[in-house]
Structure 1
Amino acid sequence: MDVPIDVITMEQAVSRVFSFFETTECHSVYTPNPEIIMAAQKDKALMDALYHASLIVPDGIGVVLASRLLKGPKLPERVAGYDLVQNLFAHMATTDYTVYFLGGAPGVSEEAAKVMQKKYKGLKITGTDHGYFKESEEEAVIQRIQAAKPDLLLVGLGAPKQEKWIEKNRGVLPVKVCIGVGGSFDVMAGKVKRAPVAFQKLGLEWFYRLITQPTRAKRMLQLPVFAWEVVKLSAKNKNK
């Protein structure tokens, strides 16, 4: 559906991000699920951001399954954005690489930072900012990030706002890697519970979110639409 996805495992994705730390440019990393892919069909700015990314990993199990129905390379596994960040933290804790948290409601990123530093001894977090800043406050947020000069910037503004924000501002950010992390700070801070491991392994994390966060129901309606589009594409390929 015109959204580029890297054929990559979790281990390879972590290695790729660390290779970005050794460069002089700012790399963007995104983690699209079916909802984001469907949104990109109607949102040119979002699609452009995805096309300009240095790394795009399949966050949703639906994206992995779709690759196995369609022609072309098959995605080896789901690379969930939350898990990618946790793996990065585990490795970064033994290095001098630094990270900055941007996003979430007031107080959430600060709490997430405290929890992560306790979990990963040695993790260096150089700053935090909530994601409810006004347009008039954006320049001050950018200046704080510029002053901190983190190697990694996690942007949790929700899709597609975070992807567009990164695409618009990465040229002025002294950052090696920006990752759009959605609501990950809420999970890190313990405000929202991650799906049990059994749900994750069965590819049913989306279902757990639906039953525990009914407000996501409207967004979840994109899942059957995505599935139908994949089925149509698969049938079209078979008829060629």
Structure 2
Amino acid sequence: MKVDILGVKIDDYTMDEAVKKVSQYINSDKKYKIYTPNPEFVIAANEDEEFKDVLNKGDLVIPDGIGIVMASKIMKKSIKERVAGYDLLQKVFNEIKDTDKTVYLFGAAKGVAANAASKMQQLHKGLNIIGYHDGYFDEDEEKLIMETINSLKPDLLLVGLGAPKQEKWINENINNLNVKVAIGVGGSFDGMAGNVKRAPMIYQKLGLEWFYRLIKQPTRIKRMIKLPMFLIKVIVHRKK
């Protein structure tokens, strides 16, 4: 079931259900797009109709931010739980390790994807990451990157170019890529590489991961202020 949050349609899946769905996609003969919106995505989508349209064309659109879950409760259409994109990837990696399924990492700063690939293969023994490329490229290099991806034919393509660039890139190019599943992963490569540490589990369980990040990075205050703004928009929309 899809839950409409300010015009962005979010899938109401638990983490286990989402992992199962991704596994089904990887083992199919079709191509699938997966997006992981948080409140910032929804705010941006309300200012960019193309971005909203792209998100709503996703085959699986999971509630990455706790703010999305809170908004669904305000709308009286409660989403079961937050499905963090980073955690989803870890569970999918665990599912496909020691199989013939392959992964390609595309995005982030120079060296980050390579480091992330190395760390993930150490963490998930048997995970087959067959290639990576950073997120810096011009038009000519982009063609070479796509040619490389197509020659390797990864089952799972992770695109970490930041929103909305990564979602628009996936939507524009998916039909020309030899991949089964493409996922917009935001800053997940930095987490995988160990450049950004996850909040302690107690913060994650309480839905306060955003608060932990703010403590560690006070400069994120401008981004964090968007959460209450987002919830106010939802409340106003609910009243209408």
Same fold (TM over 0.5): yes
The answer to whether the 8 Å contact 1:28/1:55 transfers is yes
- Residue equivalent to 2:163: 159
- Residue equivalent to 2:97: 93
Between the aligned partners of 1:86 and 1:40, the Cα distance in structure 2 is: 27
- Residue equivalent to 2:182: 178
Q: How much does 1:22 deviate?
A: 2.6
Aligned residues with identical type, % of pairs: 54
Candidates 217, 234, 238, aligned match of 2:238: 234
TM-score (norm 2): 0.94
**Alpha-carbon spacing, 1:20–1:135, altered in 2? closer, same or farther (3 Å):** same
Moved more, 121-130 or 135-144: 135-144
Moved more, 166-175 or 201-210: 201-210
Any idea what the Cα deviations from partners look like across 1:104-150, whole Å, max 9, x if unmatched? 11111011101100111110011000011123311111111111100
Candidates 41, 48, 53, aligned match of 1:43: 48
1:13 aligns with 2:18: yes
Candidates 80, 86, 100, aligned match of 1:82: 86
Between the aligned partners of 1:175 and 1:161, the Cα distance in structure 2 is: 19
- Residue equivalent to 2:140: 136
Q: Could you say what secondary structure the match of 1:115 adopts?
A: helix
**AA at the equivalent of 2:62:** V
Between the aligned partners of 1:214 and 1:124, the Cα distance in structure 2 is: 37
- Residue equivalent to 1:218: 222
Q: How much does 1:211 deviate?
A: 2.6
Instruction: Kindly report structure 1 stretches of 4+ aligned residues shifted beyond 3 Å.
Output: none
Q: How much does 1:154 deviate?
A: 0.4
Between the aligned partners of 2:88 and 2:103, the Cα distance in structure 1 is: 14
Structure 1 gap ranges (5+): none
Q: How does 1:110-121 map to 2 (within 5 A)?
A: 110-121=114-125
Candidates 123, 126, 129, aligned match of 2:127: 123
- Residue equivalent to 1:104: 108
- Residue equivalent to 2:35: 30
The answer to whether the 8 Å contact 1:35/1:220 transfers is no
Q: Could you say what secondary structure the match of 1:79 adopts?
A: coil
Report the RMSD for the aligned CA atoms in angstroms.
1.2
1:68 aligns with 2:73: yes
Moved more, 135-144 or 154-163: 135-144
Structure 2 gap ranges (5+): 1-5
